[in-house]
Structure 1
Amino acid sequence: MQDIFAVLFLTISVGKIPSIWAIGLLALPLIRPLLYKILDKAGHGELLVLYGFVLALIVGAGLFESLGMKADLGALIAGMLLAGHPSAKEMARSLFNLKELFLVCFFLNIGFGGLPQFDHLMIALVLSVLLAGKIVLYFLTLSKFKLRSRTSLFAAFSLANYSEFGLIVASLATYKGWLSRDWLIITAIAVSLSFIIAALLNKYADAIYDRYRLALKRYQATRLHLDDRPVRVGDAQILVMGMGRIGVGAYDALKTTYGEKVMGIDYNHLTTLQHREAGRRVITGDALDSDFWNKLQLTDKIKLILLAMPDHNGNRYAAEQLNNIENCTFKVAALAHYKTDEEELNALGVNLVFNMYEEAGAGFARHVWTDFQTILEKSPHKLDL
């Protein structure tokens, strides 16, 4: 919402009357199927990045600017047109590093405007202190939406920093003469400090929550939101944590042998519902949630836990929590992407660690060899191998 209002401010501040043809921009949603089709053809490589640039700079910024509208608004609208496409997140990830680079360049450009003075730093520190009030407001607001105190606190920490769009607004206001150059420097320092503070809060979020858990839970609703409730594993004997592509494959393979004794766990409730519709026994639970582990009731029936989350940090955190459970008799297996990840998981007590890339190659070879032998048995011309 900050970004949307900032772009609207930039648009209004131009002070130009748009062209009469700007009314035609209302028809932009009609070309969404064409944009989707092009995105499907772009694939996953360099063309995806190039298409993102073309969409933002030409379809968005260039078109709007030619009609007397602000280019920033055009880029925002162009991104919104693709927001519902399955590949939108992949495009965002592909452009993320470039976006961060441009943001750094923007900060440097502001820094060229003058060196900060002592009074600039003092005022910026005062503005940084106000972040505490922002965090409290976010925490209380999210708690009213029946989210757990942990979820509300972590979300508040994630939203703690001042938006970089505020810096863009200040830059434009300085250009227009509405703000002095001093306030632009103060805003830049305050935004930078807020990034540092937010990073530290997010890094130590678990420790902060564990220390003040009882006090924070006083603001937690009695009946929690459906997506934020802890869950139980019932009579399951095998747990698969992380129902992505690899987790689903492991679940289906185990289900053929152990049937309903296998249970999947995924943090996304919508994903859980899709798996249930497909006939899988899956529950919603966030393996990165310390409260989830505190309330998880693992019975003696649990024999095996598979950590199949795509992010190594998730598998590592889950392994740490499982390692803290006393008198456990179950075995733990986990996926790893790199040799260092494999060593780290082994050090945490994981019984079996599968290097995804190495195992994928071995599995591919076994699959090909099995099928090849079947073909040879059916062939009238057998080979001596």
Structure 2
Amino acid sequence: MAMTETPMTSELLYLTTALAGGAAASRLKLPVFVGYLGVGVAFGMAGHTPDELLLQAGEAGVLLLLFGVGLHLRPRNLFSLPMMLGGFLHLAISTTVCVVAARYMGFAWGEALLWGLLLSLSSTVLAAKTLDSGGELTAFHGRVAIGILILQDIVAIAILVVVSNTATSLWSLGVVALLLAVRNPLQKWMLAINSDELQLLAAVLLALGVAELFSIVNLNPELGAITAGALIAKLPLSETLADRIWSVKELLLVGFFLSIGMRASPSVEHWELVVAFTILLPFKAWLFFALLVLLGLRARTAFLTGASLTSYSEFMLIAGASANAHGLLSSAGLNVLTLVTVISFAIHLPINRLSHQLYDRFQGMTRHFERDMSHPDEPASSIGAAQYLVLGMGRTGTAAYDFLRRRGEKVTGLDTDPEVLSFQLAAGRRVAYGDAQDRELWRALRLTSVLGAVVALPRADARLRTTELLREYAPKVVISNFAMYQHEAEQLRAAGADNVSSLLAEAGERLAELSLVPARAPDLSAELPAEHCSAVDNFSLNAKQ
């Protein structure tokens, strides 16, 4: 009996091999997307091209990723002098260098300028993905990187208009005005939805709908997705929505990385260009570092920002294809751009996985370039007479802080998000700016009076690194942490955590405790107010035992 191949057969093959590639990358302690990218390259070498379903899934994944970025955006904290001036200067200098290099290699002025502009852009998708995975979108370097990327996206719109010979529609002004007009009704509508499933569906519809609206009027749909998230960023459910779209976005992004890999062909006519433009990547990173330090940021912020922007943009493939269709770029040139983009992705992912460790290794060298001045990203230099620290002042950290304060303990909270800090200060809590993964923070703080520290950061790898730093710089402090899974708990204990709360197990115990009949149930009313009765917000601190 003959086998019939259906449209789903290819997708199942792609997903199966992506699973194997991702698992192999994970075993090698690389991001799983390196595995997906490698699988895509293998399929491309075998003659496969991305089909419509894979392309649409990848595009939807990118838009949901950038919608999540928009949910974290606070415009007043985003656009500052270092971000704007640094972004403009980097575009100008890197474009000039690339144009000179292209002219030296024999390109005409027009084509050299196109190459220079395209190569000066960094990947919004990749930077957003790595920052989001590390829980660093709201960290200072994360906000700087996103601000620069938004500036680059605006420049990218102009490039696409020129190479495609189409003008941005006047309707674009109407779209912006419409979104501003419906912002408040939209927020009220989102708050009125009382179903988790419908909230998720509404968020996806908002992200894809605004992106499509931007596309219709010849604006960048990726910018539209970011704008959609920003429209509801101030709502109390924005963090919940970001969590809910996480798994959907991660699944769809498999299609993006597979399709990017498939487009890379090893049959390149100009390998010298591929090598030359790959070598330019470290220059891009160094230039970001030099400019941001010159503009008054700390070496650490400049280094991490530069690392997150060390890539070539996926936009090169879109603009390059349009330029090729209009005779502005040869097919061989488009193939070079594609392969260089894929190589930059493969380099970017592992580097950013280890960016904090890399800075620790080179900080002695990088700090020589830091200006002797007051820096806008300066961490807290004192915690006063605090006996307890809470690292991360989200819902869990706030509950831990309030519990300790009701006990009469002296407690200080640290966070990197200006909005969170403003909220906590307005609520009367003692908080300060500080990135718990910053070695320089722990080196500067006097921790002699600190008895215990609660690590309430959202990402597992951030909690692990913070625990290692705390144990190194405060060996006598009792460290309390939490884990979602058993392997995370084991890693935290090995890193030096004294107490690890297994949330799911303790939630079950708490539910059982609450189910006891009143005569047998322990009286917990004096310990925990109703608004914090969730087991997720409970911490058991044994610092004085």
Partner SS for 2:154? helix
User: How far did 1:126 drift?
Assistant: 0.8
Measure how far apart 1:364 and its partner are.
3.9
Aligned to 1:31: 182
The one-letter code sitting in structure 1 at the alignment partner of 2:459 is D
Question: 2:13 maps to which residue?
Answer: none
What's 1:97 paired with?
A: 250
The whole-number CA distance in structure 2 between the counterparts of 1:20 and 1:305 is 55
Q: Which residue of structure 2 aligns with residue 343 of structure 1?
A: 490
Q: Normalized against structure 1, the TM-score is what?
A: 0.82
**SS of equivalent to 1:227:** coil
Q: CA–CA distance in 1 between the matches of 2:170 and 2:309? A: 39
**Alpha-carbon displacement from aligned partner over 1:74-109 (angstroms, at most 9, x marks no partner):** 663464244131356745746633663453354256
Q: Separation in 1 of the partners of 2:172 and 2:296?
A: 43
**Mapped partners of 1:304, 1:156: distance in 2:** 34
- Does the 8 Å contact 2:268/2:335 carry over to 1? no
1:128-184 per-residue CA deviation (whole Å, 9 max, x = no partner) reads: 111122112111121133221111111101011011112211111112221111111
Specify the structure having the higher radius of gyration (Cα).
1
Structure 1 residues 20 and 188: CA distance shift in structure 2, 3 A: closer
- Cα separation, partners in 2 of 1:37 and 1:306, compared to 1, 3 Å: same
- Closer, same or farther in 2 for the Cα pair 1:341/1:44, shift >3 Å? farther
Change over 3 Å in CA distance of 1:227–1:319 after alignment to 2: same
Measured in 1, the distance between the counterparts of 2:467 and 2:430 equals 22
Say which structure, 1 or 2, has more relative contact order (CA 8 Å, 6+ apart). 2
1:323 equivalent in structure 2: 471
Q: What's 2:504 paired with?
A: 357
Select which of 423, 437, 458 maps to 1:310: 458
- 1:253 equivalent in structure 2: 403
Amino acid at match of 2:154: I
Which residue matches 2:313? 163
Q: How does 1:112-191 map to 2 (within 5 A)?
A: 115-117=265-267, 119-191=269-341
- For the Cα contact (< 8 Å) 1:35–1:82, is it kept in 2? no
Aligned partner of 2:223: which letter?
L
1:206 aligns with 2:353: no
* CA offset digits 1:252-279 (Å, max 9, x no partner): 11111124x1222222243223212211
Indicate whether 1:107 and 2:260 are aligned: yes
Q: 1:80 aligns with which of 219, 227, 247?
A: 227
User: Which residue of 332, 339, 342 corresponds with 2:479?
Assistant: 332
Distance in 1, matches of 2:469 and 2:168, equals: 59
* Partner residue in 2 for 1:237: 387
The farther-off stretch of 245-254 and 85-94 is 85-94
Question: Do the aligned partners of residues 227 and 370 (structure 1) sit closer, same or farther apart at CA in structure 2, a change above 3 Å counting?
Answer: farther
* 1:228–1:63 distance in 2 versus 1, CA, 3 Å: closer
Q: Which amino acid aligns with 2:457?
A: M
Q: Deviations over 1:188-238 (max 9, x none)?
A: 111111112222332333343233323311221222324333422221111
SS of the counterpart of 1:179?
A: coil
Q: Which residue of 2 aligns with 1:379?
A: none
Q: Measure, in 1, the Cα distance between the counterparts of 2:383 and 2:296.
A: 23
**Number of residue pairs the alignment of both structures matches:** 364
Structure 1: distance between partners of 2:460 and 2:168: 50
Distance in 1, Cα, partners of 2:464 & 2:306: 25
The partner residue of 1:295 within 428, 444, 468 is 444
- Provide closer, same or farther for how the CA distance between residues 372 and 172 of structure 1 changes in structure 2, counting only shifts above 3 A: farther
Q: 1:317 to 1:27 in 2, by over 3 A?
A: closer
In the alignment, which of 259, 272, 275 is matched to residue 421 of structure 2? Answer: 272
Contact 1:309 1:315 in 2 (8 A): yes
- Bigger drift between 32-41 and 328-337 goes to 32-41
Unaligned runs of 5+ in 2: 1-150, 522-545
| Change in CA separation of 1:182 and 1:347 when aligned onto 2, cut-off 3 Å | same
Distance 2:247 2:390 in 1: 30
Specify the code of the residue in structure 2 equivalent to 1:187.
Answer: L
- Aligned partner letter, 1:203: R
Quote the Cα distance in structure 2 between the aligned partners of 1:217 and 1:223: 13
Whether the 8 Å contact between 2:214 and 2:224 is mirrored in structure 1 is no
- Aligned 8 A contact 1:120 1:185 in 2: no
Q: 1:75 to 1:43 in 2, by over 3 A?
A: farther
Q: Which amino acid aligns with 2:260?
A: F
Aligned CA-pair RMSD: 3.1
**1:8–1:73 Cα contact (<8 Å) kept:** no
In the aligned structure 2, how far is the partner of 1:349 from the partner of 1:19? 58
Q: Report the residue type matching 1:183 in the other structure.
A: G
Q: Report the secondary structure of 1:353's partner residue.
A: strand
Mapped contact 2:416–2:434 kept (Cα < 8 A): yes
